[in-house]
Amino acid sequence: MTLWWLNQWTRLGQERAAVEALAAAEPWFTLTRWTVHKFRLAAEGIITAHGADYLVRLVYPDSFPDVPAWVEPQEDTAQWSHHQYGAGGALCLELRPDNWRADATGAEVLQSAFNLLYKENPQGHGESGVVPSAHSVGSVQAYAWRKPPALIGLSCLQRLFEGQATELQALYWQAQPGLWPILLTDRHDRESGNAPTTDDLGSYRTTLPVLISQSEAPHPQPGNRVELLAGFGLEESSTPPYVVIVALAPDRSALTVYVCLTPDTVQIRSLVLLPEEAGHRSGRAATAAEQKVAIIGLGSVGSSVAELLLRSGIHRLVLIDGDVMLPGNLERHTLDWRDVGAHKAEAVKRRLLHIAPRADIEIITSNLNWQQSARVYAGDIDEIAACTVIVNATGDVPTGLLLGALAEQHRKAFVSVEVFEGGLGCLTARFIPGRDPTYMQGRMAYETYCEERSVTPPSSGVRTYEALTFDGAPIQADAAAVTAAAAQTARIALDILDDRVEATTSPWMLTGYRSGWLFSRQGDSIALDVPLPTQPTPPARDLKLAEWATGLAQEAIDAARSQP
C-alpha cells in the first residue's frame, strides 16, 4: 500500500481543487467532507437530481491515477441504478476500468454519476428514464453467469446437421464448484482423440445417453421430465432416467440441448462451439519461500511459470486470468482433459494444490482489460501490488505497460515474457526498483534497437480474451519453445527472490531458439543496453497540503484504533 495521496502532492492538489471547484460551480453537487474510507482517500457529498438527494462517496484507489476512481452510495444497502454493481456497489459510469485515462479527475467521475442519476431519475420527481447500457461483457466473462454450457466441436456439429454423426455421447463433469459442463462427441471425435476415453472419478465425469430429435423445440419451455418427454413424443418407460436431448431444427440450421437429471428439473444449455485445432525440489531459502508472486496470464507460458515456481519452493502465489480452458489449449498447456471447461485460474490452482497441498494460492478469474466495477478492479490491482514479484505472461503489450507502471509505482520487482510467433525465440524483461530502468524505458529501447537495424519486432501471436473460441491463429510455437521461455522467466523471478541477480546481467534479453530475424543460430542471446535514466527533481512539497493529507491519515488511524 503506497497511499498515493501522501506522496503525489501535485496530483493530490489537482484532485482537491477539481472536486472543490465542481462543488462551487454546480448546484447539483454539495461537498460534505474529505475523509479516509478504508484507508482510501474519499470525498463525501450529495448529488441532487430532480429534487432527490443521493449521498455519494467518491473513492480514490491506492493505485490512482493508473486505476480509476469510482462513485458509490454512502449506505451499504443503497441500490439506485440498473447501472450499479449490486446494493451499495459502485456505479457503472462513463469512465471505468476499460476506458480510464490517467489524466481524468474525480470531478469528471462525479459528473458522470450525476448524468446517470439525472437521466434514470430513480428517486426524484417526474418519470424515470432509461440509460442505454454500454456495459460490454464477453462470452468468457459471462461464462458461469448464464446457462451452464454444452460444448461441441464444429465438425461434430456439421456431421449432426448432415445426419452423419454416430454414437453421440455427452460427457458430464464438474469443472469447478457449481459449474457442470457437458461435451457432446460422436464416434469420429473419440476415435480421433478429440475427447477423453475414460470416466474420471476425480471430476465426477461420466457419460450420459443422448437422444437426437429432428422436431421443433417444445413450447412453452418444459419445466420437468414429464413435460420434456411429452414435448418430444417420448415414452417414459423407454427413456433413460438421465438423458440429454439434442433437438435439431427442421432446417438443420440450429440445435437446442436439453439436460434432464431429475424428475423436476430441465436445463437448456448454452451452446459453445469449439473450432478444429491441429495437434493435440529445491532448497529454497526461507526468506525467498515466504515471498508472494503474482502471475498475470495463465496460458501455456504463465501456467508453466506457476508450476516451476511452486516446484522451486515458492508456495505463495496470486494467479490472474479470466480465460477458460478449452480442448484446443491442450497441446502446450500444463492442464489436461480433467480441466477442460474450467477457468484457467481455478484449474491451475487445483493442479498446484495436487503438488503442494498446503500452498497459499489466491486466484482472480478476470482479466485486467475487462470492463468491470472500478472497486473490484482496484481490489484486483491491490492484490497484485501486494506481491514481491509481478510476472506478466499475457504476451499483451498494453497489459505489460500497465503492470510495469504498477510495479514502478509500488516499487515491486517486475518480470515480463513474450514468446515470438513460430517459436523463433523470446523476449524477457526485468525491473528491479532502484537498479533497472522502468519497463516503459526498456520497451522504448527495444523498439529503437529494432528500428536501427531495420527489422520489425516479431509478433507474439494473437490472443483474444473476449471469446471462448479463437479469433485468429494461436501462437504457432511448440511446447519446447513455450517451456524454454517459461523456464527462463521463472529463473529470473527466482534470482530476484533469492537476491542473487548478477551485476552483469542485462534486464532486457532476446533469446533465440532457432535462426531467423536477429538470431543467427539456436541459443543466440542479445543483451539490450538500456541506460538508467537521470532522476527527475521531485516537486516542492506543499506543507499545507501535506498537513491536510496527514491529518486525514491520522483520523483514519484513530478511527481504526477506536473500533472494538
Alpha-carbon distances of 158 from 93, 155, 166, 491, 533, rounded to whole Å: 43, 5, 12, 46, 59
Q: Where in the chain is the domain with CATH 3.10.110.10?
A: 4-120
Query: In whole angstroms, how far apart are CA 169 and each of 121, 229, 239?
Result: 52, 19, 15
Domain with CATH 3.40.50.720 in the chain: 292-527
Q: Report the pLDDT value the prediction gives residue 462, as an integer from 0 to 100.
A: 46
Whole-angstrom Cα distance, residue 192 to residue 152?
15
How high is the pLDDT of residue 470? Answer: 41
pLDDT at 281: 54
Q: Kindly report, residue by residue over 200-251, the tens digit of the pLDDT.
A: 656 677 889 999 988 878 888 898 999 999 898 888 888 888 899 998 887 7
Residues contacting residue 538 through CB under 8 Å, at least 6 positions apart: none
Provide the pLDDT for residue 279: 39
Query: Can you give the C-alpha Rg of the chain in angstroms?
Result: 27
pTM across the whole model: 0.73
Task: Report DSSP letters for 285-335, one per residue.
Answer: -HHHHT--EEEE--SHHHHHHHHHHHHTT--EEEEE---B--GGGTTT-S-
Check if the beta carbon of residue 109 is closer than 8 Å to that of residue 58.
Answer: yes
Label residues 109-136 b or e (16+ Cβ within 10 Å = b).
Answer: bbbbbbebbbebbbebeeeeeeeeeeee
- Angle at CA 348, nearest 5°, toward 345 and 353? 120
pLDDT value of position 146: 56
Per-residue pLDDT at 200: 61
For the chain, what is the largest distance between any 2 Cα atoms, rounded to a whole number of angstroms?
85
Pairing of strands 293-296, 316-320: parallel
- What is the CATH T-level fold of the domain 292-527, as seen in this structure? Rossmann fold (3.40.50)
Residue ranges, the chain, pLDDT below 50: 278-280, 462-472, 475
Give the model confidence (pLDDT) of 441-466 as tens digits: 999 999 999 999 999 888 765 443 23
Give the residues across from 296 on adjacent strands.
320, 392
Class of domain 4-120: alpha beta
Report the relative pairing of strands 293-296 and 389-392 from DSSP bridges.
parallel
Taking alpha carbons only, the member of 117, 207, 137, 531 closest to residue 366 is: 137
DSSP state of 339: G
What pLDDT does 38 receive?
A: 92
Q: What pLDDT is stored for residue 17 in this prediction? A: 97
Across the chain, what does the average pLDDT equal? 87
Query: 432 near 497, Cβ under 8 Å?
Result: no
Q: Of all helices (H) and strands (E), which one includes residue 381?
A: helix 374-385
